[in-house]
Amino acid sequence: MKRPSEIASPEGKLGVLLPGMGAVATTTIAGVMLARRGLGEPVGSLTQNATIRLGKRTENRTPLVRDFVPLAGLDQLVFGGWDIFPDSAYEAAKHAKVLEDRHLEPIREELDAVRPMPGVFYPEYVKRLNGTHVKTGATKADMVEQLREDIRRFKRDNGCSRCVAVWCGSTETYFPPSAVHDSVESFEKGLASNDPGISNSQMYAWACIKEKVPFANGAPNLTVDFPAAFDLARDEGVAFAGKDFKTGQTLMKTILAPGFKARMLGIAGWFSTNILGNRDGEVLEDPGSFKSKEVTKLGVLDYVLQPKMYPKLYGELFHVVRINYYPPRGDAKEGWDNIDIFGWLGYPMQIKVDFLCRDSILAAPIVLDLALFLDLAQRSSMSGIQEWLSFYFKSPTVAPNLYPEHDLFIQLMKLKNTLRWLKGEEPITHIGHEYYD
């Protein structure tokens, strides 16, 4: 790919459209509203907090990322989205019980004004939900048209110069791609003939790409992960990235596993179990939705550890992931990991991790960063898969002939080097021999 000769400036308002306005989406929206009033800190967001080193270590050039690349400011964001329940963002946030009243009440009015547009909902793709705030239409093609009209209206009504979308909807049941996903033509035909292979989230993604709205997928469903979507995004010149926000247990895995591998320590087994009690947990009780999650969660270790390359260390690794719905915990998940490692001469050791985390608190900064970085990509004419955003995902979408990079630290280097490249700065290789010449 050629480096873009210029990056369009982030002028005007940026519409942030969130299909699925539940716990993650409302925590994100409320956090941004609080941050711009100085009532909360956007902790965990790389776009808001991180610096980036430029040039040699002796040059002392380390601007904030947001001063280095032209990102939209928090004051320029306007939130909207869709849900299959009519609750405002305030009501949905109250229901989600992630944020306390001390955070919700000061922004109540502003949050209450964010009301979801009716969703596209064919119930066969998400069990255990009965949406009431839904669109009607004879075909899936009609649904896509209605979503496109929603986007245009939202942009007009809110005076946005452009929009970006991040899927924050429930996890859909596992569906492997079929012939309908092969090409733009077959997908368009499938929309017109109500092909059962086309899920709700795929209709949102299709509508966004057609409206030139960059799209990120925060759930494990194959929302934009199929050849027809790749082709459409390329033809329309739209940036996209996926999939499944990397928070909680998988974040810990991609922090720990690269460390063990760096030291060439063996791993015999990794048993991960979780309890969580939010609506996401309830949806994941359904075996179909769990299967989608399991696929993205299990893949991680394989790619980080490369057992084929290191059969003596990782060839026999026994990896199990469990999720149990346990309502008393709400959004405060607990994830346990038992890791059986082995060292010199094969002597066994154990590591136990008990992460009492808050899912939506970890996911919100990811939603914000993805919205801002995808908008940057779009303004830089970088269309198609944005692999440099793998840092944020459990199961990064990559070109069909590539394996995904899961190591968090390689992902971070890739992200920052992409920003340097965008601005014509030298990538940082960490060789550093010049300091000793």
Q: Which is nearer to ligand NAD, 247 or 418 (CB)?
A: 247
Cα–Cα distance measured from residue 422 to residue 417, given in angstroms and rounded to the nearest whole number: 8
Q: Which is nearer to ligand NAD, 121 or 388 (CB)?
A: 121
60 φψ region: left (φ > 0), alpha (ψ -120 to 50), beta (else): left
Minimum CB separation from ligand NAD for residue 139, in Å? 16
Q: Which is nearer to ligand NAD, 200 or 390 (CB)?
A: 200
- For ligand NAD, the nearest residue by Cβ is 22
Pair 121, 84: CB distance under 8 Å: yes
380 φψ region: left (φ > 0), alpha (ψ -120 to 50), beta (else): alpha
Minimum CB separation from ligand NAD for residue 308, in Å? 28
Q: In this structure, what token pair is assigned to residue 309?
A: 């390359």
Is 2 exposed, middle or buried (CB count within 10 Å of its CB: 0-12, 13-18, 19+)? Answer: exposed
Q: Which is nearer to ligand NAD, 71 or 370 (CB)?
A: 370
Q: Which is nearer to ligand NAD, 408 or 419 (CB)?
A: 408
Minimum CB separation from ligand NAD for residue 63, in Å? 30
Q: Which is nearer to ligand NAD, 46 or 52 (CB)?
A: 46
Cα–Cα distance measured from residue 203 to residue 171, given in angstroms and rounded to the nearest whole number: 15
Cα–Cα distance measured from residue 238 to residue 299, given in angstroms and rounded to the nearest whole number: 27
Is 161 exposed, middle or buried (CB count within 10 Å of its CB: 0-12, 13-18, 19+)? Answer: middle
Minimum CB separation from ligand NAD for residue 299, in Å? 14
Total residues found in the chain within this entry: 437
| Cα distance from N-terminal residue to C-terminal residue, the chain | 34
Minimum CB separation from ligand NAD for residue 99, in Å? 13
Question: Cα dist. 181→167, 169, 388, 396 in Å?
Answer: 19, 21, 25, 19
Sign, CA dihedral 354-331-214-48, equals: negative
Q: In this structure, what token pair is assigned to residue 336?
A: 């346990």
Minimum CB separation from ligand NAD for residue 193, in Å? 20
Minimum CB separation from ligand NAD for residue 55, in Å? 36
Minimum CB separation from ligand NAD for residue 430, in Å? 30
Minimum CB separation from ligand NAD for residue 115, in Å? 13
Minimum CB separation from ligand NAD for residue 96, in Å? 6
Q: Which is nearer to ligand NAD, 117 or 372 (CB)?
A: 117
Q: Which of 363, 355, 352, 320 is nearest to 335 (CA)?
A: 355
Minimum CB separation from ligand NAD for residue 83, in Å? 4
Question: Cα dist. 139→146, 159, 210, 229 in Å?
Answer: 11, 30, 17, 19
Beta bridge partners of 318: 269
Residue that is written with structure tokens 């991180």 in the block:
50
Q: Which is nearer to ligand NAD, 123 or 315 (CB)?
A: 123
Q: Which is nearer to ligand NAD, 18 or 52 (CB)?
A: 18
Question: Cα dist. 319→57, 343, 416 in Å?
Answer: 41, 19, 31
Q: Which is nearer to ligand NAD, 124 or 316 (CB)?
A: 124
| 3-state class (DSSP) for residue 77 | strand
Residue 111 sits at φ, ψ, to 5 deg, of -70, -35
Question: How far does Cα 402 stand from its chain's mean position?
Answer: 20
Q: Which is nearer to ligand NAD, 17 or 65 (CB)?
A: 17
Binding region for ligand NAD (CB under 6 A): 19-24, 82-85, 96, 119-121, 126, 129, 168-171, 200, 218-219, 244-245, 247-248, 278-280, 359-360, 362-363
